[in-house]
Structure 1
C-alpha cells in the first residue's frame, strides 16, 4: 500500500507538481459521537512524503506516529488548526536534518508539509528549540498562577458565604500591629457599633468579665508563647447595653518559618442560650434528685411516727393503755400528720411556682394588722416561752391574699423564733410607706453568713446542712423562704434580708397598695403594740 502515491479516501482539491521534493501529506479528521475531532489519518501523500513515512514505519493514524517512544505530533494542536484555521509551525521532533513542519487547514482536513531547514524562516533550530522550551515554561507558570488565583477566588467565596451563613463574630488578629478586625457576619457584633469592628486587643480584654479576665487572658498569653495551633475558651463578654453574653471563643494561630506568631484567626460564638439551658437542666436534675429524697426520707419520718403510735395503741389494746398513754399516742399522730400536711403543702406550692408560672392568689380586702396578730397568736402557742412584739402603725388595709400573706409572716416569724437568740424577743412591724405596705421581721442573734445569704431564698436550702439555734437541724424541707419570695413576687412586691452582728437579722417585705383616701387615712391613724 505504501507504493501508492495517493491513497483512497478524501479526493485532493489540488495536485502537487510531479517534480516537487517537498513532502506533503493530506490528513482526514476522525470525529467522535458528539462531532469533535479525536484523531487524524492520512488519505494521500506525494512520493517524498511516502519515503519519509516508510522510513519511520508510521501507521495510518497520527496519534500512533511515534519516534523513540515519543509522539511526533500533538493531536490537540492539529485539532486547534482545524478549528481556528491558524497554521502551526514547528521543528520536526527528532529529525537529524533539523527540518520544520507546517500544518494548514485544507478543505475539510489538514495538509502537513515537511520543510527543509533552509526554507521558510531560517532561524537557528537550536535557538528555536530554546525559545519553544522557554515559551512552554512561561505558559506552565502562567497556568499555575491561574490555578492559584482561581483557588484563592474559591476560598474567598467560601469565606464570604460562611460569614453570611453564621451569627458568629469572625475575628482576625495581626500581631505586628496588635489590631483585631471583627466581621459580624449576619449577627450584630454583640450590639457594638461598626466603629469598633477594628480595635486593639486591649479593647476586647476590657470587656471580658472581671471573674473571667485573668484566666482567659493568661491562657491566651500562654498559648501564644507555646507551640500550639488551636486555642479555645468559654467566658462572659459584655454587650454594648452592659449585659453579659456567654461566648465560646476559638482561634487558629499562624506562625512564620521561625515559629513566631504572625496572625490569629477565630470566631466568637454566643452560647448564652445554650449555657442557660444547661444550667436549667442541671437545676432540674438537682430538683428531681431532691424531690425523690424528700419522698424517700423526709416524709418517711413522720409517717413512721404515725405507724409506730398506731401499732403501740393496737398492741396494748384499749384496756391496757392508760389515759395518759392514749393522749401521748394521739398527740404524736396528730403532730406527725400535721407535719406531713405542711410538707405536702410546701411541695404543692413549689410545683405551682416552678411549673404553673407562679403561686396563684385569691385577693380580697385584707387588714394586715389583723393578719399579723393572728400569726403571732398561733406561733405563741407553739413557742410559749418566747416573746413576739407586734407594732402596727396606722391602718394596713389593701387588696391582698390574706391566707398567703399569713403564710409569709408565719414562715418569717417562725424562722426568727427558731434561729434567733432564745432569750431575745422577735419584732414584727407593719407600716405604710408611700404606695407600699412594709412588713418587717427582726430578731437579734448571730448573723447569717454572707455565702448563705446569696442563696437564702433558693429551694431546699435546709438540705445543705443548715441548723437552727443550738445546732438543732431544721425540721422542714427548706422551702419556706422560697415560698415567701414566690408569694411576695406574685403580689408584685419584694423581699430583702440584712444580717449583722449588731442589728441581728431583718427580713423586709414591700407590697404595693393603692393610695388611701386622705380623709380615711387621717381617721384611721393610730398605733397598736402587742407583746
Structure 2
C-alpha cells in the first residue's frame, strides 16, 4: 500500500510482440580472459534493415559494425550475461536520423556466447512517457488540492490518500495506510462514515454527504463525495472519496440564520408595540377633527397627523404580516364566501380617490365567487393595483381582469410603462424588494414588503402569482387561485364549518 505520490500506472496484460531481429554472438576474449568484443555467428534476415540496422553479419564483430552498442549499457549487459550465465533484459536508446530510437534487448546465454534479441519499442516508450506525464500532473493536482482525497479497499482500509487527507487525521500517511476508520477514530466516531461507505458499496452509486462525522478525521463538518471503483469487467474493488472541510461555511450560515431570526423577531415585536400608540394618535386626531371650532390651519395640521399615522399603521401591518409569514407558519386566514368582483370594485374605488388623475378599468368574466379570506384578498388587490399605479406613466390606465375558469379564479393586473429589470425579477417577491424601474427602488413610504405579502397570501390560499414584463406589452401580474382555501395546514385562524361556494350565479362581462 502506498501514499498517493507513489501510485504507479497499471500495465495491462498483452502478448509480447515478436522481436524485430536476433543475433547469435560468440565472445572474443583478450589474453587475460576479458571479453573485449563479440563475433556474429548468425543473424536474422532483418538484422541490417530498419531502425536496428548496422548490426554485424556472420563473421563480423559487434563493436566494429554497431559501435552504438558500446556507447550505451548494452555491451556491458551482454558481458554480464555471458559471465554469469543468467538471462537479462535491458532497454536502451540510440540516436538515428529519424530521432531517438528505444530498443529493448533480451539476452540469453549460450555456449561460448549469447543470443541477442532486439525489439524496437519507441512507440511503447513514447506512450509510457505520456502516461507518466499524465500521472505526474494528476498527482500534482491531487496533492495541491485542499480537499481530502482517498481510496479504500473492500474492507474499508485506506490504500491511497493525499496530504490533505493525512492532515485531517493529524497523522502521517504511513500511520493511516492499511487501517480502517474504526481503527483510526474509534468505532463510535467512525460510525457515520462507515454507514456512508456501506450505502455506496451496496448501491454502487456515487453519493454526497454532509455532516460532522462523515469525513476523514474528526471535529470538523465535511462535505464528502463517495463512489465505487470498478475493474473493466464491472467488479467493484474499492471506494474513492473526496471530502471538503465546510466547517467555517456552515458556522457562518448558522450565524446568519440566527441573525435573521433575531431581526425577524425584533421586527415583530417592534410592529406589535407600535400598534397601540399609533391607534391612540389616530383616535385623538379623529376626536379633534370632529370639533367644528377648529381653524382651517389647525384642521390641516390634524389631517396631516391623521394621514401620517394611517400610513404608519399600514407599515406596521406589513411588518406584522412579514413576521407571521416568516415565523408563525404563514399568513393567517379567515375564509368565507367572497365575491371577488365586489372586493375588487371596493379596492379600486378607494385607490381612485387617492389617484384622482388616474383610471383603473375592471373587466369581469365568468363566476368570481369563492371561499377565500375577504380582507386578505382585498390586501392583495390593493397592493397590486397600487403598485401598478406607482410604476406606470401619468395618463395611462391600469386594467384589472377577473376571470372564472372552472375550478380556478384568474386575476390579472396590467400597466404600461418601463419593464421591470431582469436583474430584479428573481427577487421580486422577496422581502424588502420592489418592482420599481431601478435596482432596489422602493415605493415612497413603503418597505418593499408589498409584493412579498401578496405572494404569501396567494400561497396561503393554495394559489400562485406570476409576472411578465416587456417594453412592448407592459407589466402584468397574474394570480391563479383555487375556488376554496386548501387544507388549513395551520394557517386558518377560525375552524368554522367549510361552506360550499355558491356557483349558481352566472358572471357577465362588466366594466368600470
> Given the two structures, how large is their TM-score scaled by the length of structure 2?
0.47
Structure with the higher helix share, 1 or 2: 1
> Given the two structures, how large is their TM-score scaled by the length of structure 1?
0.46
